[in-house]
């Protein structure tokens, strides 16, 4: 499977990359984020929010699993870390097929519910501020967006 890789040297650079991706997104797009604690998943989500012209500050939803923000498109931010054991379906489809863009931290924990068309992003910590971001587009739409993003 073709994938793309970029390296960032600061949180701002990661946000900038996410914001560029956000500009190309449309309703129904789903982005999954994987990476260890502190890798930068929420930082990436902040960048997506900026790129969608969301004014509110995105915070890690520790006690809420799903948060919604209003922008050029709504952004549904899920952090499913706390679903580890339950594997419960919280009506994810309504978000994935909704009016906005969905971003899911720790997405593998709900993999049976994920749509097959999605942007799979993995962030790896290489140093204090250095990160490797791998993007795997699944499905024609995501592939097209990536070609545009990386041209």
Ligand X SMILES: Nc1ncnc2c1ncn2[C@@H]1O[C@H](COP(=O)(O)OP(=O)(O)OP(=O)(O)O)[C@@H](O)[C@H]1O
> Which residues contribute to the site for ligand X (CB under 6 A)?
8, 10-11, 13-14, 35, 37-43, 60, 105, 129, 131
Number of residues near Mg ion (by CB under 5 A):
3
H-helix or E-strand spanning residue 104:
strand 101-105
Least Å distance, CB 55 to ligand X, is 19
Q: Is 134 in the site for Mg ion (CB under 5 A)?
A: no
State which of positions 36-75 bind Mg ion (CB under 5 A).
41-42, 60
Q: What whole-number distance in Å separates Cα of residue 86 and Cα of residue 124?
A: 26
Q: What whole-number distance in Å separates Cα of residue 121 and Cα of residue 130?
A: 16
Least Å distance, CB 18 to ligand X, is 9
Residue placing its CB nearer to ligand X in the complex, 11 or 83 = 11
* Strand pairing class (75-79; 66-69): antiparallel
Within 10 Å of residue 120's Cβ, how many Cβ atoms? Answer: 20
- Tokens standing for 13? 């650079």
**CB-closest chain residue to ligand X:** 40
- Binding interface with Mg ion (CB under 5 A): 41-42, 60
């Amino acid at each position: 499977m073709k994938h793309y890789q970029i390296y960032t040297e600061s949180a701002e650079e990661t946000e900038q990359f996410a914001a560029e991706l956000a500009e190309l997104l449309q309703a129904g797009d789903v982005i999954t984020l994987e990476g260890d604690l502190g890798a930068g998943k929420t930082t990436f989500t902040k960048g997506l929010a900026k790129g969608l012209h969301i004014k509110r500050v995105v915070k890690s939803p520790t006690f809420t699993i799903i948060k919604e923000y209003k922008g050029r498109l709504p952004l549904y931010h899920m952090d499913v870390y706390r679903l580890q054991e339950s594997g419960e379906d919280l009506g994810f489809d309504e978000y994935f097929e909704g009016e906005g863009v969905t971003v899911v931290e720790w997405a593998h924990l709900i993999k049976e519910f994920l749509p097959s068309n999605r942007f799979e992003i993995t962030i790896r910590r290489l140093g204090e501020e250095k990160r490797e971001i791998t993007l795997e587009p699944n499905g024609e739409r995501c592939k097209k967006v990536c070609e545009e993003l990386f041209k």
